[in-house]
Structure 1
Amino acid sequence: MLARALVKRDLGLVYGGASVGIMGVVADAVLDAGGRVTGVIPEALQEKELAHPGLTELHVTPSMHERKTRMAALSDGFIAMPGGVGTLEELFEIWTWGQLGWHDNPCALLNVDGFYDGLTHFLDHATGEAFLRPAHREMLIVEADPDRLLDRMAEYQKPEAKTWVKKGDL
C-alpha cells in the first residue's frame, strides 16, 4: 500500500538498496508500479550480493555511516516501517538530527497493525516524565494508513524550539 501511495503522488523511494527484506519488497512494488527507486548500500553488503539489481539508481558507500548520511541527503522525508534494531537505530538517529536542526524533513512511523504501539506508548511516557520535549515528540508522525501518513508528512512544519544546534557546533 505504501508503494502505491508513493507512486500515486510521484514520490520516489530512497532506501538501503538491498533486494531482501520488507524494503526489498517495497522497492519491487514501487518499480512494478512505474515509480523511481534509489538505493544506497555499503560496499560490504553489495559484496554479499544483497544489492537490488533493478533499481533506478544505486549508490555504493564505503561505510554504513556514509550510507545513512547519503540517504538523508537524498531524502525529503523519512518513514520507518516495521523492522528490527537497525530500523530503530536509523529512525532515532534521523529523528535526533531533526531535533538538532540538521534537517527540516518529517520523520514518521508507518504503524502497520499496531506494530509501533508499544514504542509510541513509551515515547509518550518519556515525554510525560520530561525526558522528551513535547515539541520533539510531536515531530514524529505516526499513522497506520499510508495515504494519511503521506498527507501529514506533506503538511509537516518543523516546530519552533530553542534547542536547535548547528551541525558543526558539536
Structure 2
Amino acid sequence: MTQDKQPVICVFCGATPGNDPIHLEAARTLAFELHKHNVQLVYGGGTTGLMGEVARTLVSLSGPKAVHGVIPRALVKISTKSNGNGNGEIAPNGAGAGKAAERVVSEAMAEDDGIPESEYGVTTIVPDMHTRKRLMATKVLEGGPGSGFVSLAGGFGTIEEVMEMTTWNQLGIHKVGVVLLNINGYWDGLLSWVRTAVQQGFISTENGRILAEARDPKEVCGKLLEYHVSSERMQLNWGEE
C-alpha cells in the first residue's frame, strides 16, 4: 500500500557551497527535517557543495541507506591517491573546480554501476544526465505520501532540473509537488517570472501554483505532504513514463 511507503524526496542543488554560508546551513537543516520525517533522499551523487552537505548530514543521522545518489560516469573521477577518511573517498580539491567532477573515488571503490556505501550513502553510476534525472524521478514516484522534488540554491543544472520536473507535472507525467526552498530570496527572480508568465497568459493561474515556495527548510515536508495537483494539468497518456 502506498500509504505504508516511506516518502522519497529528490533534492536538486549546487555542487558548490556559494558565497553565503546560509545556504550550507539550509542544506544541513533540510537534512535534519528529512530525518525527522523519515524521508529517503535521492540526490545527484556528488560530495561537494550543498549537494554533499545535505547527503552527508542525512547519512550521519539516518544511516547510508537513507541516501541514494545518482551520478553520471563523466562526473566521477578515479584517483590513485591515498585518502584520509577510511572509506575510499578522495577529498575534492576545493569547490571551484566547476563541473570537472562531482565525485572523486579511489580505484578500489570504482565499480561499473555504483560506489559502495559511504558517508554519502549508496551511489548508482549511470551513463548520462538523462538517465540520472529519469532514475531520480522514478525513485520519487515509487515513494509514499509526501514524496516530491525540492530545490536548494544552485546554478544552470539545478534550475534546469527543477523546471523539467515542473513541466513534467504540467504535462501529467507525475503528480507530486515541486518546491523551491527560497533562502534569502535566491529564487525570487524565478518566482517573479512565473507570475509574469501567468499575467501575460503563457501559464494558467492554476498551473502557476505547480511550483511551490518554502522560505524555511522546516516548511518543505509539510508543503509536499499537503500538495494538491493542478486542475489544469494536461491529461495525457504517457504509458510507462
Give the 5 Å matches for 1:20-169. Answer: 20-35=48-63, 36-47=66-77, 50-51=102-103, 53-75=118-140, 76-161=147-232, 163-167=234-238
SS in 2 for 1:58: strand
The 2-side partners of 1:81 and 1:118 are apart by 14
Q: Which has the higher contact order (CA 8 A, sep 6+)?
A: 2
The 2-side partners of 1:122 and 1:100 are apart by 20
Q: Structure 2: which amino acid aligns with 1:143?
A: A
TM-score by length of 1: 0.92
Deviation at 1:166, TM superposition (A): 2.4
The 1-side partners of 2:51 and 2:205 are apart by 30
Higher helix share: 1
| Largest Rg, 1 or 2 | 2
The 1-side partners of 2:211 and 2:159 are apart by 13
The 2-side partners of 1:144 and 1:162 are apart by 25
Any gaps of 5 or more consecutive residues in structure 1? none
Q: Structure 1: which amino acid aligns with 2:60?
A: D
TM-score by length of 2: 0.66
The 2-side partners of 1:162 and 1:81 are apart by 25
Q: Structure 2: which amino acid aligns with 1:2?
A: L
Deviation at 1:162, TM superposition (A): 5.6
Any gaps of 5 or more consecutive residues in structure 2? 1-28, 79-100, 105-117, 141-146
Higher strand share: 2
